[in-house]
Amino acid sequence: MRATPNQMPALADIVGRDDLVADLRGEVQRSSLVLLAERRVGKTTVLRKLDDALSGAGCLCLRQDLEGCGGVREFAERVARAATERLKGLPRWRGQALGLVDRLGGAQAGGWALGGGLRRTWQTVLDSAVTDLLDAHKTGLVALLWDEFPMMLQGFGQPADPGDGAGALLDHLRALRQRHPRLRLVLTGSIGLHHVLRPIGKTASINDIEPREVPPLALPNAVDLARRLLTGESFAAARAADVAEAIALGADCVPYYIHHLVKALLARREQPLDAAAVADARRRCLRDAADPWHLTHFEERLGTYYGDRAPHARRVLEAVAESVGPVAHEAIEARLRQTGDTVDLPELLRDLVVDHYLRADDGSRAYAFRFGVVRDWWRWRIGCDE
Ligand SMILES: Nc1ncnc2c1ncn2[C@@H]1O[C@H](COP(=O)(O)OP(=O)(O)OP(=O)(O)O)[C@@H](O)[C@H]1O
Ligand SMILES: [Mg+2]
């Protein structure tokens, strides 16, 4: 296997994730899911493997990447087109949804009265797509796997008519889930859904959807991935197992960073290839002005996620980055007091944990960075690096 951090691995090349996907497959029998993870941890890869596992278990799956989908109408159209594509040629398919898509543009796109209530064309198109799928597959679950769902909702902004906004779509999807017991949604994306739901007061709209964490790879799988990449790139190391472990640990077991680390070693063909060479390559990557691992994103997105609280969040992260070990809540509080910050610190810390910046060890009120890569990059940024 080659070191290609930006390429989707073929299904057969996905390392690990068997247990997680088996668990998720079981969970989908009971409920819709939202997969939570830090960016680049491997959500899309897990979603593809889950698609394969569910399809193998008799579920009709429709997997879509919704990035760049600009509004409810485009969303309904994309779902209808994908459903049509999926069902073409199946004997029971009636294909109602696509016939309605033309109405999405122009004068007929707004709402119209039906049975006393205001119905909108996008709702009808979406309902028809779901009904088409359920009608064509009477024997099991229909699962709609939607990648980058939160980013899509965020992209909707605030349409002139709130009936065409993210909140209306969330309400409608909830109604669809309630109406169709064989329908499942599996949602994921690189923005935490809570950042989109909270400002529009819709956190309750997905409380029937089970949240599931997608963690980094288990260490043995991360080591296995590193070994496969080293072999694929024809690296020879006297102590290959040690080198693979150093790569896995240096990358926090995140497959994307593992690919990158092997790629960085490849650039120089380090000799001897040992754990020290891995540490050197990692340090170079974290300090590279070209930011090959896209770590500035962790800093930049604070503005988007935290709004007015972004400066406070930055100071909290600096306070934690300055220390090698975990930092007590009281020490962070004292630090904010020095700079005159007034902010709801427990809530801010909770959000930084949910957003995978920090972790709090069980039962303690002390915080450390969730990922060593992010910690070490932050330390370097603020001049704490040795
Ligand atoms: N299980 C795996 N085995 C091998 N490589 C993997 C695995 N998971 C992820 N990768 C590698 O990491 C890269 C990023 O994975 P993926 O796109 O699934 O992450 P993501 O969490 O969806 O990212 P984003 O936050 O950008 O949406 C992939 O292109 C692939 O190179
Ligand atoms: Mg993804």
Q: Is the pLDDT of residue 363 over 60?
A: yes
Q: Ligand 2: distance of its center to the CA of 44 in Å? A: 4
- The CATH homologous superfamily of the domain defined by 16-213: P-loop containing nucleotide triphosphate hydrolases (3.40.50.300)
User: Mean pLDDT over residues 312-337, rounded?
Assistant: 93
* CA distances for 330 relative to 6, 317, 339, 359, 384, angstroms: 41, 14, 15, 16, 21
* Range of weakest confidence among 25-39, 190-204, 297-311, 343-357: 190-204
**Percent of the chain beyond pLDDT 70?**
91
Mean of per-residue pLDDT scores for the chain: 90
**Ligand 1 atom nearest residue 217's Cα:** 1
Which residues, judged by CB distance below 6 Å to any ligand atom, belong to the binding site of ligand 1?
A: 4-9, 14-17, 37, 39-45, 190, 225, 255-256, 259
Q: Ligand 2: distance of its center to the CA of 300 in Å? A: 19
* CA distances for 333 relative to 191, 339, 346, 357, angstroms: 27, 10, 10, 17
**Beta bridge mates, 210:** 33
Q: Ligand 1: distance of its center to the CA of 214 in Å? A: 11
The answer for 364, left when phi > 0, alpha when psi is -120 to 50, beta otherwise, is beta
**Ligand 1 atom nearest residue 256's Cα:** 12
Q: Which pLDDT value is given to residue 172?
A: 96
Residue nearest to atom 13 of ligand 1 (CA): 256
Residue nearest to atom 23 of ligand 1 (CA): 40
Longest CA–CA separation in the chain, Å: 76
Q: Which pLDDT value is given to residue 146?
A: 98
Closest CA to 348 of 384, 371, 376, 320: 320
Q: Write down the domain spans for the chain.
A: 16-213, 219-287, 301-381
Q: Which pLDDT value is given to residue 240?
A: 85
Q: Is the pLDDT of residue 251 over 60?
A: yes
Separation CA 226–CA 110 (nearest Å): 53
pTM: 0.92
pLDDT band at residue 96 under the 50/70/90 scheme = low
pLDDT band at residue 114 under the 50/70/90 scheme = very low
Residue nearest to atom 24 of ligand 1 (CA): 40
Q: How far is CA 73 from the centre of its chain?
A: 24
Give the architecture-level CATH label for domain 301-381.
Orthogonal Bundle (1.10)
Segment 160-168 long-range contacts (CB within 8 Å, at least 24 positions apart): 161/110, 163/111, 163/118, 163/120, 164/71, 164/72, 164/73, 164/120, 164/122, 165/72, 165/200, 166/196, 166/200, 166/202, 167/200, 167/201, 167/202, 167/205, 168/72, 168/120
Q: What is the pLDDT of residues 125-171, one digit of tens each?
A: 999 999 999 998 998 999 999 999 999 999 998 888 888 899 999 99
